[in-house]
Amino acid sequence: MTTGESVHRTSIFTWAKWLAQAHRRVPIIPIVIISLLVLTAVLADFLTPYSPVDISLANRLRPPFWEDRGSLAHPLGTDPMGRDLLTRMIYGARVSLVVAILGLLVGGGVGAGLGLIAGYYGGRIDALVMRIADTTMAFPIILFAILLVVALGGNLATVVIAVSLVLWARFARVIRGEVLSLRERDFVAQARIAGCSPARIMLVHLFPNIVNTLVVLLSLQVGWVIIVEASLSFLGAGVPPPTPTWGSMIAEGRDYIATAWWVSFFPGLAILATVLSFNLFGDWLRDALDPKLRQL
């Protein structure tokens, strides 16, 4: 090997190592966006002087402040009912986060528990849980939610139930796969020999080893839940008006795309930025918690 080839290979290795380290760097922009989203949702009552539901027809379809007829009193403009668009987006963020948190807690908790049981016991229990999970994932979430709205009425609880009943299957499949490999490890065999009950083995010995996977899965599913909630609201099967949601705001502006583009554009941009931020954060978290990737 010549000196030039050696230097060239060393240079390639250096660049590859730098790129791997850069990929694992903390994603500042997604974290900032997520932090701002959480803060605005929590402090919504103190951040705006307007009500998200009060109608003011005199101010209907005001453009953003940088356009003609725009005003800093309504920085992002108003909707067809004269309501401040920025205010409704802030309160809509609260609805999206509440649905995401409740849906992930319920669906993720049930799915992780069933995945642990199915993976540890195997056999008929595993087959039964996985067939139910496959059936659940094959059923369209939108159609399922519409059926729930017809049966239970459209409200926040209905959306959370619809999301949870589909989300648990995703968690169950991933956690079950992790447990199938972990249950063959020596520490599980030693726990059985020591006389530990199945419940203790699952909670004390197996669960701590799947926490990393569970955390990453939670972060990656936030964006999916927000998209589902926005889709249901857009179709009228989500949280009913006048409660502001990003999906319903986009639906309200679809008849004004040519004359009042901002009514749909800014809520859509909020959904895009939020989902992309959570996905990028989840990807980074997966790489940071994966010991194989940390060895690069």
Least confident of 43-57, 96-110, 140-154, 269-283: 140-154
- Count of H helices and E strands in the chain? 13, 0
Mean pLDDT of 133-153: 80
pLDDT over 80 (residue 45): yes
| DSSP H or E segment with residue 161 | helix 156-182
Q: What is the mean pLDDT of the chain?
A: 84
Q: What does the pLDDT read at residue 19? A: 47
pLDDT digits (tens, 9 = 90+) for 266-285: 999 999 999 999 988 888 88
- Listed residue (114, 110, 123, 120) closest to 202, CA to CA: 120
Q: How confident is the model at residue 15 (pLDDT cuts 50, 70, 90)?
A: very low
Q: Domain residue spans in the chain?
A: 28-42+85-294
State which fold the 28-42+85-294 domain adopts: MetI-like fold (1.10.3720)
Q: Are 227 and 136 in contact (CB under 8 A)?
A: no
pLDDT at 290: 65
pLDDT given for residue 291 in this prediction: 56
194-242 tens-digit pLDDT: 888 888 888 888 888 888 888 888 888 888 888 888 888 888 888 888 8
Quick check: 174 and 213 in contact, CB under 8 A? yes
Tell me how crowded residue 240 is: count the other CB atoms within 10 A of its CB. Answer: 16
What's the pLDDT at 85?
A: 93
At residue 231, the pLDDT reads 86
Range in 40-44, 108-112, 153-157, 259-263 with the lowest mean pLDDT: 153-157
Contact 241, 55 (CB under 8 A): no
Q: What is the pLDDT of residue 241?
A: 80
- Does 123 score more than 60 pLDDT? yes
Q: Where does residue 257 rank: exposed (0-12), middle (13-18), buried (19+ CB within 10 A)?
A: exposed
SS3 category, 71? strand
